[in-house]
Chain A
Amino acid sequence: MIHVRKLTKRYTDMRTGDFTALAGISFDAMPGQIFGLLGPNGAGKTTTLRILSTVLQPSEGTAVVNGFDVVKNAEQVRRQIGFVSTNTAIYDRMTAWEMVQYFGQLYGLPLDELHRRMESLFERFKMNNIRDVLGSKMSTGMKQKVSIVRAMIHDPPVLIFDEATSGLDILAAREVLKTVEQVRDHGKCVLFSSHIMSEVQRLCDRVAIMHRGSVLAEGTIEELSDQYDEQDLEELFFQLISASEKQTDAHDLVDTVFTQ
């Protein structure tokens, strides 16, 4: 469903020159699966997901979503995905109903079908009480619900959640996680990025641990546990990251010695 190959993204930074946000990562995510991207802040999770949602263009490498290339068929890709991120807010001066309807129309859904879907989604997410509430008057949890419904309105085969629970209280977060599970059970391909271990452990069928723009390890949680002989995901994560940091430091040292 999602095939990422040697995806690279470089930015020019005034201070450091070329900055590599993604250093050639590869992974595959399948339908009916939740694929987790686990990594500390700045690991490159958001950049990966932005490329998959066609908001950014990769410097090198390819990414194919449901058979469409993110660079060559950007518009088709956007129709295949629902993108929920901390950076995709909802409009303050629009009600929940207007917001979802607007995006449904942008996806080109016929109005009667759109309204049918909206009724069922609003019912399912128990949002009928906030139908006519403006975005500015909603709580963070409500906003996130509207975002999720907005992303699901066109029934996309792929859903991308980028740190979808950040800033939510425990009740709202649980609800979001429940939704993500439901979506997977409907046979969708879900990409879920987070830096919270428990979420990933609970939800994800497969996990890629990312650090400094690279994938350090990838597999099911069981596979990873077996491979690194560590049952606790948090401990495993910490080991991988420290090993990677040491390696980078050693590389830096070698570089420094040789240049001198």
Chain B
Amino acid sequence: MKWPNVKLIFFRELRDQMRDRRTLFTVAIMPMVLYPLMGMAMLQVAQFMREYPTKVWVVGHENLPESPPFIIEGELNGDFITPQDARLLQICMSREGDQEFHKLIRQFREQSEMTHAPQLVDQLIQSEMRSRGVDVAVFIPKPIELATEPFDETHPDQQRGSPSIYLFQNTAVDQSRIGAQRIRTALGHWQKALIKETLRENNVRASLIDGVRISEADVADKAGKKAAAWSKIFPFIVMIWSLTGAFYPAIDLCAGEKERGTFETLLSSPAARSEIAIGKLLTVMSFSMATSILNLLSMGFTGLFVVSRMGGTAMGGGLPMVAPPIASIGWLLLALIPISALFSAVALAAAAFARSSKEGQYYLVPLMMISMPLMMVPMLPAAKLDFGSSLIPVSGLMLLLRGLIEGQYSECLKFAGPVCAVTLACCWFAIRWVVYQFNSESVLFRPSERFGVGTWFRYVMRERDQLPSFGSVILLAIVILVGKFFIGFVIQTPLNFGDFAKQTVIILVATIAVPTIMMALVLTRNARKSLKLHRCTLPMACAAVLAAILLNPAFTWFTSLVMYIYPPADDLFLLNETVGNIVSTSPGIWATIAVFALVPAIIEELAFRGFILSGFESMRNRWQAIVLASIFFGITHGVLQQSVITFGVGLVLGLIAIQTRSILPCILFHLTHNSLAVLLSAAEPTVIENSLILKTVLMTTDGVHYQYGMLPGIAMTVLGISLLVWFIRLDGKERPLLGTGVESWIAGFRKSTQPSV
């Protein structure tokens, strides 16, 4: 790559974009004008936003005690309410007709208590309130008098409890809800005063009702409070604008140039494709960063101005809106570089694929939808930066940024390494993708074709290869994931082992086996090769079983390590317990093994070491294929801990599959691996103690739970790894011995489905 060319292209594109009115408007003019305009509009609207008084209807005010008075001359007693709140409450006293209503409500109240139809009463009251135009109604059915005589069980009056006041509100209407809240506060103060007065009359210390006073204090320093407010908003705003700011220039620089016909001019110049791609990427990145910074500045200044004009606190939350600390701005600018690089590369790759600017615009929404959940993470109060979350792209960076702004350097910088590694890896992949797109003739000169489902299907059938394509592998993975997601809604918690077994088999067959076999038959020319339904030699089969046994300690330790790094949530324990209870109803250990080991081994191997691995293998080198297939194997297991563990197992299975070119050894390995897990959890202590081998290999601290001993475990792992080395040295030289029999069936099926030419 020649950097002078990259520089030349970068400066040209930059100047070109600066001369484009639309881009300038989105990047510079809009943020600088939009926020002040919005701020002004907000101030203007605020002037008109007067709160109107809530009409409160008091029914039965004659039942209120004279002292302390709640209502004085048609207004609430100033002792119980602030003057500001009192102005916003308009009290209406009941008139003659209300006395009738008073009876009506009481009647209905009593009736509803018996008939359990309170809705009827609610409707009646609501219609009555509406007809009088009141928002809140206070109903005092009986004279209020606090009982002061000593408690006497036998006295009938004393069993009735304290007197009540009803407060009717309509929570669907804000005016009513807020009014009711004000009345409730006032009633609370009044009630306290009433109790105090009654106590005083009976010669009891009035401070008794205060009980124990609870004092609160906020010990957060001012800078910390400032940082906390900004740490949640800042990263989000930066991300959103860096994506938006990258997108429009990216479309103009790729799809736009294709449309205007200048792309081919550039392609026929001496500049290499990669130089063009990097030059354009740097341009998009500059605009992404500029948009982000300008938006942030404009928004910040407008925010500060508006808040200072409106009285110091932000609306609603009572958030202290003050200028952010300098350090947090520094961290933000530092984090902006990789964020912009990542988003710019993704946007540029999408834009390179688009034939026209219009088509490019369609890609913005899906891109936003995918990145939005990742950006939202630091806004969640429970989100915390740990090893697990640091590995999630974008989210990890957001959490690190949040921690740094909050000043938790010691906790956060531990995870800076993984976060930077993941972010850089993502950037690298995205940039590679852009360069690939620029090198791909079919992307740059994509003709616009009339699309029809029939034509497309015929095209797929015609173009299908011996092995699955990358697209069909992704399709299968999506089908499996979506299938699992939807089947989750349909299934019910099984009650016994029979139901559980049926359910497990149905789920595996419906979501994995059927799509895999169908796609192998339809989307490839050689289903047998795609599913790796080949024979394997007897030594291979034995080696697979032996490897599963020997590597079991290593996988058990790996599982413990994963559980330590990602402690499972409570509901996972609950799930495990439920499954454990169901398994205890199993008719026998063989049934459990069939459900937990045999069926998953066959079906999952068909999909992951068969179809998906074959697909990746045909386009990547074998190690990359193994890793990619294992990632898919992990993802489909849903639960994070299980995904990580199965990813590890998938690596070994992938290796065996590629080296033996058959899924038979993989099925045997998978079966043995899962069976061992079932057997170890079900093994009786007496069985273990009576067996010489088991006694040597396993150890226990409590006599109930067994685990692998350190030395035997290490010895087994070393032997297991040497078996894997044997597999690596195989390279498919062994002659096949065992047959599967399935291939003849598939060949027959294919013959019958092939169209006659």
Contacts and interface: CB of A to CB of B under 8 A. Distances in A.
Interface string B453-491: 001100100110000000000000000000000000000
B8 A106 contact: yes
A83 B268 contact: yes
B449 A85 contact: no
B103 interface: no
Nearest to B456: A14
Given A12-B463, A14-B456, A85 B270 contact: no
B264 A55 contact: yes
Interface string B7-26: 01100100110011000000
A172 B268 CA distance: 24
B752 interface: no
Interface string A74-90: 01001101010111111
B445 A102 contact: no
Contacts of B272: 75
B262 A91 contact: yes
A150 B266 CA distance: 11
A105 interface: yes
Nearest to A56: B441
B27 to A, nearest CB: 15
B68 to A, nearest CB: 79
A232 to B, nearest CB: 35
A189 to B, nearest CB: 16
Contacts of A57: 441
Interface in B98-141: none
B462 A17 contact: yes
A15 interface: yes
Given A14-B456, A56-B441, A56-B445, A105 B8 contact: yes
A145 to B, nearest CB: 15
B268 A90 contact: no
A224 B90 CA distance: 105
B12 to A, nearest CB: 6
B741 interface: no
Contacts of B142: none
B16 A93 contact: yes
- Tell me what chain B mostly uses at the interface: helix, strand, loop, or mixed: helix
Contacts of A106: 5, 8-9, 269-271
A78 B8 contact: no
Contact of A15 (B442, B449, B757): B449
Given A57-B441, A78-B270, A88-B261, A14 B459 contact: yes
Contacts of A103: 265, 269
A89 B269 contact: no
Nearest to B21: A93
B407 to A, nearest CB: 46
Nearest to B7: A105
A61 interface: no
A107 interface: yes
A94 interface: yes
A53 B269 CA distance: 9
Interface string A227-260: 0000000000000000000000000000000010
Interface in B41-99: none
A85 B9 CA distance: 21
Nearest to A49: B268
A12 B462 CA distance: 10
A105 B4 CA distance: 9
B267 interface: yes
B261 A89 contact: yes
Interface string A1-40: 0000000000011110100000000000000000000000
Nearest to A94: B16
B449 A87 contact: no
Nearest to B259: A89
Contacts of A93: 16, 19-20
B435 to A, nearest CB: 15
Contact of B268 (A15, A54, A94): A54
B260 interface: yes
B176 to A, nearest CB: 59
A32 to B, nearest CB: 23
A222 interface: no
Contacts of B261: 86-89
Contact of B269 (A86, A87, A107): A107
B8 A102 contact: yes
Nearest to B273: A74
Nearest to B265: A88
Nearest to A50: B264
Nearest to A160: B268
Nearest to B460: A14
A89 B265 contact: yes
Interface in A95-140: 102-103, 105-108
B20 A87 contact: no
A185 interface: no
A223 interface: no
Most buried by A among B4, B268, B269: B268
Contacts of B8: 102, 105-106
A60 interface: no
Contact of B455 (A14, A79, A87, A107): A14
A92 B267 CA distance: 17
A56 B264 CA distance: 10
B273 to A, nearest CB: 9
B16 A91 contact: yes
Nearest to B441: A56
Contacts of A102: 8, 12
For B267, B455, B459, which residue has the most chain A Cβ atoms within 10 angstroms? B267
Contacts of A105: 8
Contacts of A54: 268
Contacts of B268: 53-55, 78, 81, 83, 88
Contacts of A91: 16, 260, 262
B213 to A, nearest CB: 72
Contacts of A56: 441, 445
A259 B9 CA distance: 55
Given A89-B260, A91-B16, A93-B20, A55 B267 contact: yes
A196 B269 CA distance: 28
A259 B20 CA distance: 59
Given A12-B463, A106-B5, A75 B270 contact: yes
Given A56-B441, A91-B16, A93-B19, A79 B270 contact: yes
Contacts of A50: 264
Contacts of B449: 13-15
A199 B272 CA distance: 34
A92 B260 contact: yes
Contacts of B271: 106
A129 to B, nearest CB: 21
Contacts of A78: 268-270
A106 B9 CA distance: 8
Contacts of B12: 94, 102
Contacts of A53: 268
Interface in B589-625: none
A88 B270 contact: no
A173 to B, nearest CB: 19
B457 to A, nearest CB: 10
A150 B16 contact: no
Contacts of B15: 94
A91 B252 CA distance: 12
Contacts of B459: 14-15, 17
A252 B254 CA distance: 41
Contacts of A79: 270
Given A15-B455, A15-B459, A75-B270, 8 more contacts: A13-B449, A17-B463, A88-B264, A89-B260, A90-B265, A91-B260, A103-B265, A107-B270
5 contacts: A87-B261, A90-B262, A91-B260, A91-B262, A259-B757
A-B CB proximity, top 5 nearest: A89-B261, A88-B265, A93-B19, A83-B268, A53-B268
Interface of B: 4-5, 8-9, 12, 15-16, 19-20, 260-262, 264-265, 267-272, 441-442, 445, 449-451, 455-456, 459, 462-463, 757
